[in-house]
Amino acid sequence: MGARKVAYYRTFQAVFNIGARCLPWRKAERVEGPGSIARIPELLRSCGVEKPLVVTDPGLMKAGVAPKILAELDQAGIPYALFDTVAPNPSVDAVNAIRALYRAENCGGFVAIGGGSSMDAAKAAAALIVRPNKEVNALGGLLRVRRKLPPFIAVPTTAGTGSETTIAALITDTATHHKYAIMDLCLIPRYAVLDPEQTVGLPPHITAATGMDALTHAVEAYLCWTYNTKESIRFAEEAVQAIFANLEKAYQDGKDLAARKALMIASYKAGFAFTRAGVGNVHAIAHTLGGLYNTAHGLANAVILPIVLEDYGEKVHHKLARLAELAGVAHGGSEADKARAFIQAIYDMNARMGIPRGFDFIQDKDIPQMIRWALAEANPLYPVPVVYDEKRCRAVIERVRV
């Protein structure tokens, strides 16, 4: 990539960083611990919400997770409307349907129950509520909502996406298969209800993929040095430590509430870290897999993360060496040795949890589109350690494809 283009990207990031530090950043208020879903009626009343729209997915309805929360609303005498058909990688059509139901039922706020898909779909619908003359696609990008959302309570049922505390909602355009983000500070939920009991029934493979999603958030935020703050750096480090200490415990024993709680808090911290500091080329490439092949986002990140970290090389050795020490995977040797140990530890953890080394479904004809989408997402916004051009992005995608 030409030096002028890289210089432009770095200048953009420096200027954006100055502006970002003037924005009204906040965190979703954490309500945590076993049984904390019982506080949802109280939270709704504190926000003045008489009738929320509950947004969730069929799997959580069938598993009995969402019905437990609906029962809390019933017991408290709070009426609600229900949208329970959110699919993975939520579409523009789903967002429009949620908006239509919210209006038809005269709702006053949202309770989003699930992984990133339910929370993102509800966030995007909430954005449309306050931007009634806009279409979903018109809100894609940065700071295009700019209006206060209706009260929003996020109830994650995985420990991975961090959507309960982020500025982002990821949506897939069904016509083009392009997966993109709506990003605005107003999309940060009012409350994040972190109840580890709601994650106990997660299948091991989902526990693994979502946990690696959170790890990717923390690591990429840590490497995106430009926008970082002392708090985002600390949260990223704490999230990495907690994930290495607890993810495989939860994978092996889904009923380990201590591990589940630690992972939920780690996901929240990683979500805050990348909301403040940004993500990078891992996410940019992973989003193309979600749009084109409906690949679960956490799984895509898990596979791509160590490959991109290897590709970055010495540019990230210093920071990865620090993470290796915090994660307890390396204690001696050079920074390069520790960095390589950290990357190998990710490969090894993936393997122990059944996550593949790569994907065999990526088609030759799709790679040029993947490159275009990934580069357009990453540049100039993401302060990545290494700016990718078409050649380097292709080389990484070829390594992801097995």
CB 29 within 8 A of CB 190: yes
CB 293 within 8 A of CB 361: yes
Q: Is the pLDDT of residue 402 over 70?
A: yes
Can you tell me the distance from the alpha carbon of 131 to that of 5, in angstroms, rounded to the nearest whole number?
A: 34
Q: What is the pLDDT of residue 6?
A: 94
**Beta carbons within 8 Å of 184's beta carbon, 6+ residues apart:** 127, 142, 143, 144, 145, 146, 167
Q: With pLDDT > 70 as the criterion, what percentage of the chain qualifies?
A: 100
**CATH 3.40.50.1970 residue spans of the chain:** 33-199
Can you tell me the distance from the alpha carbon of 212 to that of 72, in angstroms, rounded to the nearest whole number?
A: 31
Can you tell me the distance from the alpha carbon of 124 to that of 170, in angstroms, rounded to the nearest whole number?
A: 8
Q: What is the greatest pairwise CA distance in the chain?
A: 63
SS3 of 12, please?
helix
Count other Cβ atoms within 10 Å, centred on residue 343.
Answer: 21
| Residue 113: burial class (beta carbons within 10 Å; 0-12, 13-18, 19+) | buried
Average pLDDT over residues 22-39: 95
Average pLDDT over residues 327-350: 96
Average pLDDT over residues 220-225: 94
Q: Is the pLDDT of residue 332 over 80?
A: yes
Q: Is the pLDDT of residue 1 over 70?
A: no
Amino acid letter, residue 355: I
Give the model confidence (pLDDT) of 247-291 as tens digits: 999 999 999 999 999 999 999 999 999 999 999 999 999 999 999
Q: Out of 176-180, 256-260, 317-321, 348-352, pick the least confident.
A: 176-180
Find out if CATH 1.10.357.10 is the number for domain 33-199.
no
**CATH 1.20.1090.10 residue spans of the chain:** 3-21+202-400
Chain mean pLDDT for the chain: 96
Give the model confidence (pLDDT) of 131-190 as tens digits: 999 999 999 998 999 999 999 999 999 998 899 999 999 999 988 888 889 999 999 999
Residues belonging to the chain: 402
Q: Is the pLDDT of residue 339 over 80?
A: yes
Right CATH for 3-21+202-400 from 1.20.1090.10, 3.30.43.10, 3.40.1280.10, 1.20.1440.230? 1.20.1090.10
Q: What is the pTM of this model?
A: 0.94
Give the model confidence (pLDDT) of 84-123 as tens digits: 999 998 999 999 999 999 999 999 999 999 999 999 999 9
SS3 of 88, please?
coil
